[in-house]
Structure 1
Amino acid sequence: MFVKICGIRDLETARVALDAGADAIGFVHHPASPRHIDAAGIRAIIDGLGDSGVETVLVVRKLPVEQVLKVAHESGVGTVQFHGGEGDEDLQRAISEGFSVIRALSLAEYAAGPHASSISARLLLDAPEPGHGQLIGAEAFAQFGNRPTEPWILAGGLTVENVRAQVGGLRPDGVDVSSGVESARGTKDHAKIRAFIANARS
């Protein structure tokens, strides 16, 4: 089970996530978010981790691709997660410049498809408003159609308390959490990070 802890803003929290077994850590570059971090801040955390082997992900929403790539290069991340409905051309530009890509869609956007593409991008299904703790329930899949046949990552409303049931019911290949492991908006709770990762894999 792939686990990504998103909304990282400091080195200590990044180290806690790694020590707990996270496969990836995400950095939100979106000024309207309480989890926003700039390229220099991301670079400092990545440099502080050294050769950890963890996947580092720049999370962006509705930014021009030129700006996204500038921040990605300056920050030193290995992956870009697009949340703004960007087309294949923008995703391919990121791939061409050496980044892995995650395409994040709401369940409604995914169901409205088709999303067949030659672009090598992983799929993440999120709530309509990312970062607001909204849960994607089994009934939503029943309304919009079957689960994806391709590998996919579940996000939206996951918490320490519900991740085990969500994984068991929806059977994603990975999970992504941000607000569900916070003590306040934008402030990560280290104990919750550890418990979330353990529960996701139990």
Structure 2
Amino acid sequence: MARVIRVLLVDDDALVRAGLSMMLDGVAGITVVGEAGDGGEAIAAVDAHAPDVVLMDLRMPGVDGITATRRLRARARPLEVIVLTTFDTDENILLALRAGAGGFLLKDTPPQRIVEAVTRVAEGDPILSPQVTRRLMDDALTRAGAYEHARAALAALTPREREVALAIAHGRSNAEIGAELAMGVTTVKAHVSSILTKLDLDNRTQIALLAHDAGLA
């Protein structure tokens, strides 16, 4: 017999759950085995119904979707989670994927696309909505550009200035930098002033951010 994918719906909106249940239960090879109104209820529902895939909302009272996803993926019997939300901020996307979600879809995704996602994620094939894929690609390009810019900028510094810049990125004060690098506070201040001038920066925070973009902190 063909495998039937068992799905758990987690959303604090009962109407959303009803709509998803009606849609998925009408698809051959998929059955909705349970529902939960927040991430806390989801944990108990997983124990009760043993789903293969969880469709998880993000913003819910009590335990949110990110926390619930992380807890479910850490279990001895991990299961697949698809985040289904209206909140597609970069932070939410990255947090969900880092928590172990195998999919990230927006709630305006066409029904057939949601069905396809459930099937594919159940087979271990991650899936993202086209909008999310584009956001991640744009973010990667932005980060790559920032990295290259930061590395090129720091290359203009002397080895000693780079040491000072890295210490600033680690939150060291001038006195701490002096003690760490065996130089007087006046010398440290001179190096900081030189770094700001060479890199056309205004303050120490910008030095720290540049070092972070360069992957040094």
| TM-score w.r.t. length of structure 1 | 0.33
**Higher strand proportion (structure 1 or 2):** 1
Rg: which structure is higher?
Answer: 2
| TM-score w.r.t. length of structure 2 | 0.31
Question: Quick one: higher RCO (CA 8 Å, sep 6+), 1 or 2?
Answer: 1
